[in-house]
Amino acid sequence: MSAPLGEGLGFAMTPLGGVIAFGVGAVIAFVLGGPIMQMILSPLCAQLGPEGCQLIFQGPQEAFFIYFKQALLAGFILAVPCLLFQSARIFAPTLFQHVPRSVAIYACVGGIIAIVAAAFVLFYEAPRAVSAAFAYMSQSAPDLPMLGFASEYLRAALKMAGSYVALLQVPLIFAMMVKSMRTKRVLQSEAQP
């Protein structure tokens, strides 16, 4: 006998499942911070060349916090399915109790949306913003070196990616709430004689 989908996802259904998934994702991303940073910086390096792509930090804590912010964003992206599964308990309780399979589908879609949103920002939107800023700076002050530009680029790109990922989850939560209300109405109409 196979267990229902809701029982198979017992870890994600526990109250601390989302927090644990966030922590595990953040730790993995912090350990792999160097390759992830190189991947995030690759569009900038393509535009500025190797001399403009150096990270310049004013202190050791600044380097740590850049890697920490990157790890938090990656942990959040990896934990989105668990967090959406948890939010279904709060925002869509009828759906969670009676149709757990649809909650799992919403959670998987949320994870895909999070990855696509972060990739869109990091590899399309942020490099376009940088190219516009770089064109303006090179016209207004052509002799000005671009020292520290990569560090500022990382800060801005991580903030943009985090806000895109978070904001694109809101419609998904609303869709779960609407489906939950519809499910509740159907269940109430079936219960009435």
Task: State pLDDT tens for residues 52-105.
Answer: 677 777 778 888 888 898 999 999 998 898 888 888 877 777 777 777 788 888
Q: Is residue 191 part of a domain?
A: no
Side chain identity at residue 71, one-letter code: A
Going by C-alpha positions, the residue among 142, 163, 144, 157 that lies closest to residue 44 is: 157
Q: Is residue 193 part of a domain?
A: no
Query: Over the stretch 147-172, which tens digit does the pLDDT of each residue have?
Result: 556 777 888 888 999 999 999 998 98
Report the alpha-carbon distance of residue 90 to residue 26 in Å, rounded: 24
Could you give the number of structural domains in the chain? 1
* Neighbouring residues of 54: CB distance < 8 A, sequence distance ≥ 6: 150
Q: Is the pLDDT higher at 164 or at 135? A: 164
Beta-carbon neighbour count of residue 75 at 10 Å? 20
* In-domain check, residue 3: no
Q: How far is CA 172 from CA 80, 86, 179, in A?
A: 11, 13, 11
Residue span of the structural domain in which 135 resides? 13-185
The pTM of the full predicted model, rounded to 2 decimals, is: 0.77
Does any domain span residue 6? no
Task: Kindly give, in sequence order, each residue whose CB lies less than 8 Å from that of residue 91, ignoring residues fewer than 6 positions away.
Answer: 173, 176, 177, 180
Please report whether residue 5 resides in a domain: no
Domain assignment present for residue 7? The answer is no
pLDDT at residue 182 in the model: 84
pLDDT of residue 71: 92
- Domain-embedded: residue 66: yes
